Amino acid sequence: MVKMNFGGIEEDVITLEEFSLKKAKKNLEDKVIVVIGYGSQGRAQALNLRDNGLDVVVGQREGTKSWGQAISDGFEPLSIEDACSRGDIILYLLSDAGQMKQWSSVKKHLARGKTLCFAHGFSIVYRDQTEVIPPEDIDVILVVPKGSGATVREKGGLNASIAVHQNFTGKAEDTANAIAITIGCQNVFKTTFERETYCNLTAERGVLVGALSGLIEAQYNELRKRGHPPSEAFSETVEQLTESLIPLIGEKGMDYLFANISKTAQRGALNWRHKFKEACEPVFEELYDRVKSGDETEVVLEDIDPADELEEISNSEIWRAGEVIRNLRSKNQ
């Protein structure tokens, strides 16, 4: 375990030097690992585990698109109940609403000493609402790769967070580390179910998707209202952000970006960042409070079909303009 210093605050980090892939595979070699759900994360984790020589069984509802995808990928999927009955370690990777709906089918197969693994703490943290309450004689752990399923599968080398909710066998943390490493992560940070859930729900609704989408739409709409054509408004709002600035921030940091833009851009950005920060702080405070109170949970568990809202985004001018510009970019590569 390595002590990492984050601005004066130390955190313990497990790296491949302390918990190698060889050690991880040794921890799991005699286990049947069941992946329940074959969506983005389920598929990526199942394939990476199998690539590492582990015994993987996929549990999925028959007749779904994901069932067919699992077959195409060389698995012989089973029903959720049949798969759970075979597993020593069950990765419960359905949607949060789906976990609540399928819980009775999973719980009956959680025999003494098994491990139940989540990729999000939602169902456990809000167990008063989800009624996902595991038996006391199993291990309950959390393994969260810090990336989408596609990134987990195609890129690898991500960071991961782990947590232990129940340590019945005394080996829960080793199991969590082993799963994190064998699904393709290389640095592992310890957290709690509560911290991961509150942070994740806030971030997804905030900077990662919700706030980013809202900021992009607001700037684009203002530029269009002021007479700028779609290509110009999109390029100044999205194209530069995604193709130039975000990769640079990821590689070298926001401080580097500020230090390496024009003096005009630098002065303006330094002044206006405070206005945006002050405008957003009350929104984030409200958002975190709603997450912690469980108000946001109720919305998730209603499981409302987002198709109409997603179609509205797809058909909006900004993202139609984006499609044209991306196609132009691809033709020139």
The structural domains of the chain, ordered by start, are 2-192 (3.40.50.720), 202-331 (1.10.1040.10)
Angle between helices 210-225 and 317-331 (to 10 degrees): 90
What pLDDT score was predicted for residue 333?
62
Whether 165 is catalytic is no
Question: In 10 A of CB 37, how many CB atoms?
Answer: 25
What pLDDT score was predicted for residue 200?
95
For residues 167-194, give the mean pLDDT. 97
The whole-angstrom separation of Cα 125 and Cα 123 is 6
Structure tokens at 182: 């064998």
329: pLDDT confidence band, cut at 50, 70 and 90? confident
Note whether 80 and 69 are within 8 A (CB).
Answer: no
For residues 7-29, give the mean pLDDT. 92
Angle between helices 193-205 and 210-225 (to 10 degrees): 10
The one catalytic residue in 109, 120, 228, 274 is 120
End-to-end CA distance of the chain: 44
For residues 71-75, give the mean pLDDT. 97
* pLDDT tens string 262-273: 999 999 999 999
The whole-angstrom separation of Cα 113 and Cα 91 is 15
Average pLDDT, the chain: 95
Burial of 178 (0-12, 13-18, 19+ CB in 10 A): buried
pTM reported for the whole predicted model: 0.91
pLDDT > 90? residue 3 = no
* pLDDT tens string 190-226: 999 999 999 999 999 999 999 999 999 999 999 999 9
Give the up-direction half-sphere exposure of residue 67: CA atoms within 13 A in the CB hemisphere. 8
DSSP assignment of 177-224 equals: HHHHHHTTEEEEEE--HHHHHHHHHHHHHTTTTHHHHHHHHHHHHHHH
